[in-house]
Amino acid sequence: MTGRPERRGWILGVLATTQLMVALDATVISIALPQAQRSLGFSSANRAWPVTAYVLAFGSLLLLGGRLVDLWGRRTTLVVGLVGFAAASWVGGSAASFSTLVWARVFQGLFGALLAPATLATLSTTFSEPRERARAFSLYGILWGSGAALGLLLGGALTQWASWRYCLYVNVGFAVLALVGTLLVIEPGRDEGRTHLDALGILLASASFFFVVYGFAHAVTTAWDDPVTATSLVAGGVLLFAFAFWQRRAPYPVVAPRLIATRMRAGSLIALFLTSVAVFGVSLFLVYYLEGTIGYSPLRIGVAFIPLVAATAFSSSMASARLLAQVGPRPLVPVGMVLSMLGMVLFTRLTPTSDYFSSVMPGLLLTGLGLGLIVAPAIATATGGLERRDVGAASALVVAAQQIGASMGLALLNTIAVSVATRAVTHGASAALANLHGYAVAFWWAAGFFGAGALASFVVLESGAVEALASQDELGQPVEPI
């Protein structure tokens, strides 16, 4: 499906609305949790579960969602996902008990696992002309790169001016708009020759992703040597190895080995993974710093992230969208990694008396400029040059790389920050200075991940016109760097 030219603008609007809803929902409820806790009367120990439940369901079911896109068709999958997401959001917003809220978040994650790969697959198949494709993916990159910040802004506004419940109700409005648009402008698309589902592969993939994500999430509130954390990560690793082993022998694999056999796709997935590791952990520490050290309100914290959103939008639209079709991903992604790395380095210089405009905003601007050069080119490259039967699975791999990276980043960087702060306190530092030192060390680690991403993307990705790269990628031929 390429879509009639006059419809493509409307299709892009529908997909942007859907992606924005999914991107927001990872963080929109975070700021509302204290109010939800007072309303429903659950303990502080359980406060993380409304977030964890969504992440677990979303991450563990992504590959199933991607394959269902290929089996059901993109429009059918979008319709099912939007209806289910809206219903789960309404139930969560109306929850009278903690268990209802958590289960609603589980089902939000389940239907989100359908929506994320369906949105990306529809975008990939609708916009095939290189320049048009670059512009479409630049918008997707803007929404992905700024989704967490926009979620904080929207969550802070709704919590401060209305109620925590509207952080869930707001999804119903997004979903209804996207559903009407889907039914009106998106055409059915399905690979008729692909009617089998690899049940064992789905089970192994879902179980491995569940244990990996749960292990990282559990490490945030416990420790890496906690028995549950260690057991979950080991089990996830073993199941992931079993999944990879089975995919080479399965007659209808969930993830065909050819999907990750090319340098371009593998390099793009690595870039997205490392970016997610670094940037989602960093957003957490900036929230801690702005709230705990500077004393910002939830709404003001959301507003403080606007420069990140603006810089990401500028970089994606002015550079990524215009250059990707001509030069390919390699000149863009490594430069973006370096810019984001410099943003992290600036954050290591924060002090208890730092001024937002001179100390925080420059780092947000650099990071946003970098994300705009990383995300859109990497995603466009990872989903390009594919047979239609594999678009859904490849889209799910992209989202999975981002989701696992985000979970790992939150756990790893949080553990580093807490352990450094604890050691600082034992050596006589005040709690405030110790926490700030922990944030600084975590920012250095994040800079290191971006630096590793710059090196890996420069070595693995290719330069050159997108058409040439895509055609050779389809044939499985190596492309000589320019």
Residues 374-404 have pLDDT tens digits of 998 898 888 877 777 778 888 888 988 988 8
Q: Could you tell me if 79 and 216 lie in one domain? A: no
Q: Could you tell me if 16 and 139 lie in one domain? A: yes
Q: Are 462 and 324 in contact (CB under 8 A)?
A: no
Per the structure, the complete domain to which residue 424 belongs is given by: 8-197+252-475
Residue 1 placed within a domain: no
pLDDT digits (tens, 9 = 90+) for 351-362: 999 999 999 999
pLDDT band of residue 464 (cuts 50, 70, 90) is low
pLDDT digits (tens, 9 = 90+) for 91-122: 999 999 999 999 999 999 999 999 999 998 89
**Token output for 233:** 């990560």
> Can you tell me the distance from the alpha carbon of 120 to that of 387, in angstroms, rounded to the nearest whole number?
15
State percent of the chain over pLDDT 90.
Answer: 39
Q: Could you tell me if 51 and 119 lie in one domain? A: yes
Q: Could you tell me if 246 and 261 lie in one domain? A: no
Q: Could you tell me if 28 and 170 lie in one domain? A: yes
Average pLDDT, the chain: 85
How is residue 261 annotated by DSSP? Answer: S
Query: What is the structure's pLDDT at 320?
Result: 66
Q: Is 277 or 135 the better-scoring residue by pLDDT?
A: 277
pLDDT band of residue 334 (cuts 50, 70, 90) is very high
Residue 378 placed within a domain: yes
Residue 436 placed within a domain: yes
Q: Could you tell me if 126 and 242 lie in one domain? A: no
Q: Could you tell me if 176 and 240 lie in one domain? A: no
Q: Could you tell me if 76 and 167 lie in one domain? A: yes
Q: Could you tell me if 187 and 219 lie in one domain? A: no
Backbone phi, psi, residue 305, to 5°? -90, 0
Query: What is the structure's pLDDT at 193?
Result: 47
Q: Is 358 or 128 the better-scoring residue by pLDDT?
A: 358
Domains in the chain: how many in total? 2
For 444-471, what is the mean pLDDT?
A: 82
How is residue 91 annotated by DSSP? Answer: H
Residue 356 placed within a domain: yes
pLDDT > 80? residue 419: yes
Left if phi > 0, otherwise alpha if psi is -120 to 50, otherwise beta: which for 350?
Answer: beta
For 337-346, what is the mean pLDDT?
A: 97
Which class for 177: exposed (0-12), middle (13-18), buried (19 or more C-beta within 10 A)? middle
Q: Could you tell me if 232 and 376 lie in one domain? A: no
Q: Are 83 and 103 in contact (CB under 8 A)?
A: no
- Among 236, 251, 266, the domain-final residue is 251
pLDDT > 70? residue 219: yes
Angstrom CA distances, 464 to 26, 326, 467, stand at 35, 7, 9
pLDDT digits (tens, 9 = 90+) for 250-278: 888 888 777 777 888 899 999 999 999 99
**Token output for 424:** 């600082």
Q: Is 429 helix (H, G, I), strand (E, B) or coil?
A: coil
Residue located via tokens 């993109």: 74
Q: Could you tell me if 270 and 210 lie in one domain? A: no
**Token output for 54:** 């969504």
Q: Are 52 and 198 in contact (CB under 8 A)?
A: no
Q: Could you tell me if 101 and 228 lie in one domain? A: no
Residue 452 placed within a domain: yes
pLDDT > 70? residue 50: yes
Which CATH number belongs to the domain containing residue 39 in this structure? 1.20.1250.20
pLDDT > 60? residue 150: yes
- Among 207, 225, 251, the domain-final residue is 251
Q: Is 189 helix (H, G, I), strand (E, B) or coil?
A: coil
Residue 191 placed within a domain: yes
Residue 3 placed within a domain: no
Q: Are 61 and 213 in contact (CB under 8 A)?
A: no
pLDDT digits (tens, 9 = 90+) for 434-450: 999 999 999 999 999 99
Q: Is 152 or 63 the better-scoring residue by pLDDT?
A: 63
How is residue 143 annotated by DSSP? Answer: H
